[in-house]
Structures are given as C-alpha cells and as structure tokens.
Amino acid sequence: MIIIFQALFSIFVLFVLSTIVQKKKQGLLGKKGFLFWVVFWMIALLAVFWPESMSQLASFMGIGRGVDVVIYSALVIIFFLLFHLHIKIESIGRDITFLTREMALMDEKKNSKL
C-alpha cells in the first residue's frame, strides 16, 4: 500500500517540480521562491519515502509522533503563505490605486489646461 502511495506521490512531485522550473524560466518565480519550493517538495518526498526520518525529527523536537511534526509544520507553512498572499494582494491593490489615480488625472489633463 505504502509503495503505491510513494509511487503516486513521486509522480505528483515530479509534476510539481517541472511546473516550478517552468515558472522560473518564464520569470514568474524569483530565486528565493524557486529555492523555497524545491526544498519544500524535497522534504515532502523525504518524509514519504523515509517516514522514520519524521519520527526521528519528532523525538528530537520533543513531539510525540512523526506525523504530528508534519501536521504542525504544514499548519505553520499554510498560515505563513496565507499571510504572504494577503500582503501581496494589498500591495497589488496599491498599484491598482496608483494606476486608477493616474488615469483620472490624465483624463482631466486632456480636458483642461492642467
């Protein structure tokens, strides 16, 4: 059973990695983002192929089970990404405001002697 899951997960990670490389080539992903996602999926792969590695990490960190380490880490990462996304959206909002303002003033300049 675990073998089937490992095989499916490997295919999925390969697909994700190819997408990451593609995005990097297209310039949609920066150096830091590229590195973050490659390392992230490598760690995920490590956890799936060697579940004991997570148990070792768990006992090192004083957490009961390996699976708990994965859940806690996933939660922290998800919260961080949500926060990051929110900031990004706000920042894009400000760019949109800037453009909206420029357009409003440009129209006025056209219509008057400004």
Is-contact 13 44, C-beta < 8 A? yes
Restricted to residues 73-102, the positions that interact with another protein (CB under 8 A) are 86-87, 90-91, 93-94, 96-97, 100-101
DSSP state of 46: H
Identify the sign of the CA torsion 6, 4, 65, 56: negative
Q: Which one among 13, 29, 108, 110 touches another protein, defined by CB under 8 A?
A: 108
Should residue 65 be labelled a site residue for another protein when binding is judged by CB under 8 A? no
Q: Alpha-carbon distance 21 to 1, whole Å?
A: 30
Restricted to residues 2-61, the positions that interact with another protein (CB under 8 A) are none
Count residues binding another protein (CB under 8 A).
17
Q: Which one among 1, 4, 28, 114 touches another protein, defined by CB under 8 A?
A: 114
Should residue 112 be labelled a site residue for another protein when binding is judged by CB under 8 A? yes
Should residue 107 be labelled a site residue for another protein when binding is judged by CB under 8 A? yes
Which are the contacts of 13, defined by CB distance < 8 A and separation ≥ 6? Answer: 41, 44, 45
